[in-house]
Amino acid sequence: MTTASPMPDPQDLLPLTPAVFHILLALADGEKHGYAIMQEVDEATDGAVRMGPGTLYGSLDRMLKNALIEEAAQRADPTTDDKRRRYYRLSDFGRKLLSAETARLTQAVRRAKAKRILSPA
Amino acid sequence: MSQPGPVHRFSKAEAIYAGLLELYPADFRQAYSEEMLHLFSENWERVESASFAYRFQYSSRMLADWVLTMGREWFSATRSWEFTLGSVSLVYSGAFYLVSRDFVSVINALFISFFALLARFVLLSRPRVPLLNLVLRAIALGAGANFLTARMYPSHSTESSYVLWSDPTNLWSTSGGTIAFVTAAIVLGMSDFHYRRHFGLKQTLTAHAHCGWVNRVLYNLCICLGLWNLIHHQYVLAGISLTFLIYALSDRLFRLWIQPTPHYVPEPRTFD
């Protein structure tokens, strides 16, 4: 009989690195391939977070191993006519982790506002 | 009959990047290098027509990304005492000789470190070619003929204590420290072969980090022996213990802070 590995508490894995956080966020609304993730992160952060191919695929590799994301079926990008690409999607655990990190950041922003570091929205 | 697709001709930048990708660890390269090159090519198409300054900035960023991630991937691929110890000791040896202002010895130390790592890797990856192993190990150890550099020969410093060719009297030195180092070196070598035979190369290279309690005990023993030398004013050997300690600390820092995520891998699904 095999016993499943215990799922770690997301709180134990916080804070996430910027690369991991932005990749999880990019995958929150559906499956994407590497180039699409890179583009979304670049646009969403106005170029503040620019991942090179090594950083991106190194992070994806570790996230796959840690079950934060899953690999979807390879297929061609419908918006381009080039070859098949590898797609990634968020796992349930990855979604929980993203939610926990977002809550942590929200709390930090709330405290910064309370101390008038940031002007209230 | 299917028509062949259009042939994509690599630009110089793409060819260089493809070459750099070859230097990633094999597993990582096989899994991602094609997509990484694809991604680089797509970006390069946009960058190619930009100004020289922008192209230079982009190329620098790609180069920095390659340097940092290649080191990181190699480290996580091997996660072994030897490779990390090797890199730490390269810096350590260099720093030691820079302080002593003996630049020739700096080059010697780096040269020896390189051959020491190469020899061990070949020894582990090609155990069925004993002659080649013997030749490479002889070169590695032979390069350490100089007494001081042999003492600083880092990744297998334990062995260097009894292969000091320029000072044969040390070969049979009966000091407690030397005998203990020799014993540790022999047992370490035997444990390497044991792991290689039973678990394969990759497991052997990661054995120290994951399952090699025997090796852990032995390396800790080496640290203790280094400290013993420090107490007895044998500063060069004590320096070797510093290398071990630096590595021991960096190993823990890596696990606790740099890569805090545990290796959670779900059980494979079974179908009845």
Q: Where are the domains of chain A?
A: 16-77+84-110
Between the CA of residue B133 and those of A1, B121, B129, B145, what are the distances in Å? 44, 10, 6, 19
Contact A37, A23 (CB under 8 A): yes
Of A29, A102, A37, give the one whose Cα is nearest residue A63. Answer: A37
> How many other β-carbons are positioned within 10 Å of the β-carbon of residue B168?
8
Candidate from B31, B260, B266 with C-beta closest to A5: B266
- Chain centre to alpha carbon of residue B82: 6
Backbone dihedral region for residue A83 (phi beyond 0: left; psi -120 to 50: alpha; all else: beta): beta
Give the per-residue pLDDT at B264.
34
Contacts of B64 in chain A (CB under 8 A): 52
Structure tokens belonging to residue B100: 């002593």
Each residue's pLDDT tens digit in chain B (272 positions)? Answer: 444 445 556 778 888 898 888 888 777 888 898 899 988 888 888 888 888 888 888 888 898 888 888 877 876 765 544 454 454 445 444 454 455 555 555 555 555 455 545 545 544 444 444 455 455 444 444 433 333 333 434 334 444 433 333 343 443 344 544 444 444 445 545 555 555 555 555 544 444 444 344 444 544 555 455 555 555 555 555 555 455 544 444 443 333 333 333 333 333 333 33
Q: Give the number of A-B residue pairs with CB atoms closer than 8 Å.
A: 84
> How many other β-carbons are positioned within 10 Å of the β-carbon of residue B264?
15
Candidate from A52, A57, A67 with C-beta closest to B265: A67
CATH architecture for segment(s) A16-77+84-110: Orthogonal Bundle (1.10)
Contact between chains at B61 and A52 (C-beta distance less than 8 A) = yes
**How many helices (DSSP H) and strands (DSSP E) are in chain A?**
4, 5
- Tokens 């203990």 locate to B180
CA distance A120 to chain B (A): 33
Stronger pLDDT, A92 or B216, i.e. the higher one: A92
Candidate from B31, B264, B270 with C-beta closest to A67: B264
**Annotated domain spans of chain B:** 12-74, 80-252
Nearest CA in chain A to B40: A53
Q: Determine the average pLDDT of the residues in A104-112.
A: 90
Contact between chains at B61 and A55 (C-beta distance less than 8 A) = no
Interface membership of B272 toward A (CB under 8 Å):
no
β-sheet bridge partners, residue A32: A88
Of A93, A76, A92, A96, give the one whose Cα is nearest residue A36. Answer: A76
- Using a pLDDT cut of 70, give the percent of chain A over it: 83
Contacts of B28 in chain A (CB under 8 A): 57-58, 61
Q: Where are the alpha helices (DSSP H) in B22-160?
A: 26-47, 52-78, 81-99, 103-125, 130-142, 147-152, 157-160
Contact between chains at B32 and A2 (C-beta distance less than 8 A) = no
